[in-house]
Structure 1
Amino acid sequence: MAAAKKDYYEVLGVNKDASEEDIKKAYRKLAMKYHPDRNPDNPKAEEQFKEAKEAYEMLSDDQKRAAYDQYGHAGVDPSMAGGAGAGFGGFSDAFGDIFGDIFGGARGGQRANVYRGADLRYNMEVSLEDAARGTETKIRIPVQAACETCEGTGAKKGKSPVTCTTCNGHGQVRMQQGFFSVQQTCPKCHGTGKIIKDEDKCGTCHGAGRIKQNKTLSVKIPAGVDEGDRIRLSGEGEAGVNGGPTGDLYVVIHIKPHEMFQREGGNLHCEMPISFTTAALGGEI
């Protein structure tokens, strides 16, 4: 009977909530101590080196670490699955169908995943006078906009994206590790569930469905804005993917330093040097 494997955290001498950096430091320390080159003809040191190496390989990988934390060695060691591939295949597939229906990745759906476009941020400097009185100004920003030639589909006129054969349109692929099945984004379609054949790609955006362009916008600065205030321009961010909604643009206000006044909330302060006579008798400055 094979001896039970040691706990990976105990092998490295770290807690279960140890950070990646802590795990790396612990492994380096043990590797230097038990490396075969430093311990020739020492089987025990060699075994400890192998244990540390195995523990580090598992705990330094986020997916493997998650599987180990939940299922122990059975979650990361295929030899401990006990024929799980045959005995639990239907069980795994059933759960896949259930979660797919809930989260939009159903096997029968075969529809492309829709993603909202990214929000953008623009830092705008305004003078103290404009911040106090309000103003309107124009800005020019680079954005990923929907391709007008293909209307964002990425395909030539009369052509359409087809279902990705790698993930069968789910946008996700599964990786089996012992009892633990991990889902990850499909490397071929990048999670969209659809691909465009090279000969069918739009000549303008080359299948991306979006192109980079500069956009000119008019921004109204309301009176009384303060440092760090944000103005939201709805729908002026980057274009979505597969017909997803466009993101927003956030204009962040930064007040330029004034040569005379300093603003504190709703008040203006000014420091003015005056003579002793003016201070004592009064006068105009």
Structure 2
Amino acid sequence: MKKDYYEILGIDKSADAAAIKKAYRKKAIEFHPDKNPGDKVAEEKFKEAAEAYEVLSDPDKKARYDQYGHAAFEGAGGFGGAGHMNMEDIFSQFGDIFGSAFGGGGFGGFGGFGGGGQRRVKGTSLRIKVKLTLEDIANGVEKKIKVKRKVKAQGVTYKTCPTCNGTGQVTKIANTVFGRMQTASPCGACHGSGQIIDQKPAGADADGLIFSDEPVSIKIPAGVAEGMQLKVSGKGNEAPGNNSVPGDLLVVIEEVEHEALKREGDNLHYDLYISFAEAALGGSKEIEAVGGRVRIKLEEGIQSGKILRLKGKGLPSLNSYGNGDLLVHVNVWTPKKLTKEQKEFFEKMIDDENFTPSPEKGDKSFFEKVKEMFS
């Protein structure tokens, strides 16, 4: 079982953005690979801290995590969190947080400027929305879509930036009251990549990139919800340079509203309308459900407001905890127009004891049912 993100960073849920950032920096410096060479346990803790920070530092992701826990980011491909991030992802995204803690902001050759090597630049991420029906959500689905992304043009070449000699940074030394101070900043000529364009094919932009429509297959697990985000690594825009890595494709889930079924977490709700005769005599009715129609039994004398629970007929849990239920809300329909004969019948029955309301002690009021449903 995954650890709680707040517990990983050693903070509580009331922590603000500054406190979250401070806590992450402290943990990341403590378990940084440069400080713990060859220590696999420290490396895992370093990744855990980065995953926690990636979620809690984003207001939208934090809100989803507070509501759904890890379920908001789990499933094929990883939802929103950093569960599938490698060390390069972490250094590329969060390198600025460390400042000069490790040699002027470098990270041992992963995503910064350390070790004298070229910086590995990551391309920008793309975000798209995918619409899913309840059937898609119930069964899981594989979607094939076309993504317009930037890729390196055929024939483009890059060379080492002469300004920074491929390090991606420039160093300045200044005399201050405290003595000689050395500062490092990204190279303005190559924007920190360590390389500049050498040969640019026709049609390519200033970075040697062109747009390309590429098919991408996305496996979406059963049980996802509106607003959840699926990350497909390496399917975002490419970045210039020979030492670059592509960005990610972020797929946001959008639910298509069902005509008859309403979703509440893993449970589904269905409004069933029946006549006076059906309520009095009972019988069976066929209703909508995910994956097809199902038949339910109505007992004689069933009351309006009765909720019939069909266990396991809801949606699957994203964490594989089983299925939710289908809740059928019975509503007795009162006719608005009656024939002469019908009116005469009801006029005769108006004082009949069988037609006089007589709720039993076990019958719950409307407010009790609402309270029970939301608890």
1:142 aligns with 2:148: yes
The count of aligned residue pairs is 178
Output the amino acid matched with 2:159. Answer: P
Task: Name the residue aligned to 2:161.
Answer: 163
CA distance in 1, matches of 2:167, 2:238: 22
The equivalent of 1:238 in structure 2 is 237
1:189 partner amino acid: C
Match of 1:250 in 2: 250
8 Å Cα contact 1:239/1:247 also seen in 2: yes
* 1:220 counterpart SS class: strand
1:114 touches 1:241 (CA, 8 Å); kept in 2? no
- 1:106-117 to 2 correspondences below 5 Å: 109=116, 111-117=117-123
Residue 169 of structure 2 is aligned to residue 172 of structure 1: yes
Per the TM alignment, residue 205 of structure 1 is displaced from its structure 2 partner at its CA by 2.3
**CA 1:201–1:269 in structure 2 vs 1: closer, same or farther (change >3 Å)?**
same
> How far has the Cα of 1:170 moved from its partner?
3.2
Per-residue CA deviation, residues 224-250 of structure 1 (Å, 9 max, x unaligned), is 333334434332222244232223323
- Describe the shift of the 1:261–1:161 C-alpha distance in structure 2 as closer, same or farther (beyond 3 A): same
1:130 and 2:136 matched: yes
The 5-angstrom pairing of residues 180-219 of structure 1 reads: 181-196=182-197, 200-206=199-205, 208-219=207-218
- Deviation (angstroms), 1:182: 4.2
CA distance in 2, matches of 1:201, 1:238: 18
Instruction: Tell me the alpha carbon deviations over residues 35-71 of structure 1, each in whole angstroms, 9 at most, x when there is no partner.
Output: xxxxxxxxxxxxxxxxxxxxxxxxxxxxxxxxxxxxx
Specify the code of the residue in structure 1 equivalent to 2:135.
E
In 1, distance between residues paired with 2:125 and 2:228?
16
- Is the CA contact 2:161–2:190 (under 8 Å) kept in the aligned structure 1? no
- Measure the CA separation in 2 of the matches of 1:209 and 1:281: 76
Q: Shift of the alpha carbon at 1:146?
A: 2.7
Indicate the structure with greater strand content. Answer: 2
Percent identity between the two aligned chains? 37
Shift of 1:161: 1.2
TM-score, length basis structure 1: 0.51
Q: Is the 8 A contact 2:104 2:183 kept in 1?
A: no
Partner of 2:81: none
**Cα distance, 1:267–1:206 mapped onto 2, change above 3 Å:** closer
Question: What's 1:29 paired with?
Answer: none
Q: TM-score if structure 2 supplies the norm length? A: 0.40
CA distance, structure 2, for counterparts of residue 172 and residue 222 of structure 1 = 43
Q: What is the CA–CA distance in structure 2 between the aligned matches of 1:100 and 1:136, rounded to whole Å? A: 41
Code of the residue aligned with 1:231 in structure 2: it is: L
